[in-house]
């Protein structure tokens, strides 16, 4: 009996592998780490493998327009997937919001950023980092926040721009800048900011950072791409998304 069970398990595993495939996923930089965890769970559950390429949402859009072989886009906004759908590069009706991002002003220095972000008004810092607001929604949200606070003109000479939110966070972790606006998901652990100091930006200070997914035209008939879009709505994926400080 044990030998029969062994061979049945082998056959089941073989059947799964026969149907397993890869899906090429373009991922906004702020969602790279959560997506790696989701990709692991996705492969474990379906046998399909998600191959990730990350970057600023605007840059990924350009690559898609230029024929990049991506099958799924996980953007850092909701405007880009809508544009892609209207351009005929995405599957109509496949868009949905997979996460709502939170912006945080963070510094690796304990005590530098308080819970009112007074550091922005005092100007007692040398350099502050944001992602390129023309390409990265989190960068645009940072500019919007500083404008509403009435500090943008004073802060502007001290701005250092990252190509995307990942590079912006790198400026902070390497000590190249004193503080910066990044995604909460990049600095949170176990539901809190474990080191440095930070101020989670109130939602009313910037437009909602709705992050939409879209099935791209190249993935229209790809089982792995379709399966991933479905998996992103699953309880397992949503639990990972929440654990990184995103709303749903």
Statement to judge: residues 79 and 159 lie in one domain: no
Is 164 inside any structural domain?
yes
172 lies in some domain = yes
123 with 184, same domain? yes
Q: Are residues 57 and 78 in the same domain?
A: yes
Using a 10 angstrom Cβ sphere, with 0-12 exposed, 13-18 middle and 19 or more buried, the burial of residue 1 is exposed
Could you say which DSSP state residue 92 is in?
A: T
Angle (CA) 89-92-96 rounded to 5° is: 100
18 and 45 inside one domain: yes
| pLDDT, position 11 | 43
Are 83 and 156 within one domain?
no
- Contact in structure between 240 and 232 (CB atoms under 8 Å): no
> Same structural domain for residues 85 and 128?
no
Do 188 and 152 fall into the same domain? yes
Residue-by-residue pLDDT tens, the chain, 248 positions: 445 444 444 444 444 444 689 999 999 999 999 999 999 999 999 999 999 999 999 999 999 999 999 999 999 999 999 999 999 999 999 999 999 999 999 999 999 999 899 999 999 999 999 999 998 899 999 999 999 999 999 999 999 999 999 999 999 999 999 999 999 999 987 777 878 999 999 999 999 999 999 999 999 999 999 999 999 999 999 999 999 999 98
Distance (Å, rounded) from C-alpha 178 to C-alpha 113?
10
Instruction: Give how far Cα 50 sits from Cα of 47, 55, 79, 222, 234, Å.
Output: 10, 16, 24, 12, 16
| pLDDT for res 1 | 46
Specify the DSSP class assigned to residue 2. Answer: H
Residue 153 inside a domain? The answer is yes
Instruction: Specify whether 59 is located in the same domain as 109.
Output: no
Q: What is the pLDDT of residue 7?
A: 45
Q: Is 134 found in the same domain as 95? A: no
Domain ranges, residue 117: 103-200
Residue 52 CB neighbour total at 10 angstroms: 17
Give me the pLDDT at residue 19, please.
67
| 248 located within any domain | no
Q: What is the CA radius of gyration of the chain?
A: 20
Cα–Cα distance measured from residue 113 to residue 118, given in angstroms and rounded to the nearest whole number: 7
CATH number at 45 reads 3.40.190.10
How many CB atoms sit inside 10 A of residue 83's CB?
16
The count of domains in the chain is 2
The closest of 208, 232, 5 to 102, measured between CA atoms, is 208
111: left (phi over 0), alpha (psi -120 to 50) or beta: left
């Amino acid at each position: 009996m044990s030998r029969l069970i062994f061979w049945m398990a082998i056959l089941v595993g073989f059947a799964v592998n026969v149907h397993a495939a890869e899906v090429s996923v373009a991922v906004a930089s702020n969602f790279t780490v959560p997506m790696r965890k989701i990709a692991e769970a996705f492969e474990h559950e379906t046998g399909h493998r998600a191959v990730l390429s990350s970057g600023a949402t605007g840059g990924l859009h350009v690559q898609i327009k230029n024929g990049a072989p991506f099958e799924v886009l996980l953007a850092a906004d909701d405007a880009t997937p809508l544009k892609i759908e209207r351009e005929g590069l995405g599957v109509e009706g496949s868009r949905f919001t997979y996460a709502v991002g939170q912006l945080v002003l963070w510094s690796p220095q304990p005590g530098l950023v308080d819970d009112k972000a007074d550091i922005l008004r005092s100007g007692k810092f040398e350099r502050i980092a944001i992602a390129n607001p023309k390409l990265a929604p989190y960068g645009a949200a940072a500019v919007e926040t500083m404008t509403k606070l009435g500090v943008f003109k004073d802060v502007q000479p001290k701005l250092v721009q990252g190509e995307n939110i990942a590079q912006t966070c790198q400026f902070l972790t390497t000590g190249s800048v004193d503080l910066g606006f990044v995604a909460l998901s990049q600095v949170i652990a176990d539901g809190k900011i474990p080191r440095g100091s930070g101020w989670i930006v109130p939602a009313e200070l910037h437009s909602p950072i709705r992050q939409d997914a879209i099935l791209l035209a190249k993935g229209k008939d790809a089982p792995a791409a379709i399966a991933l879009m479905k998996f992103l709505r699953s309880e397992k994926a949503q639990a990972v998304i929440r654990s990184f400080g995103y709303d749903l």
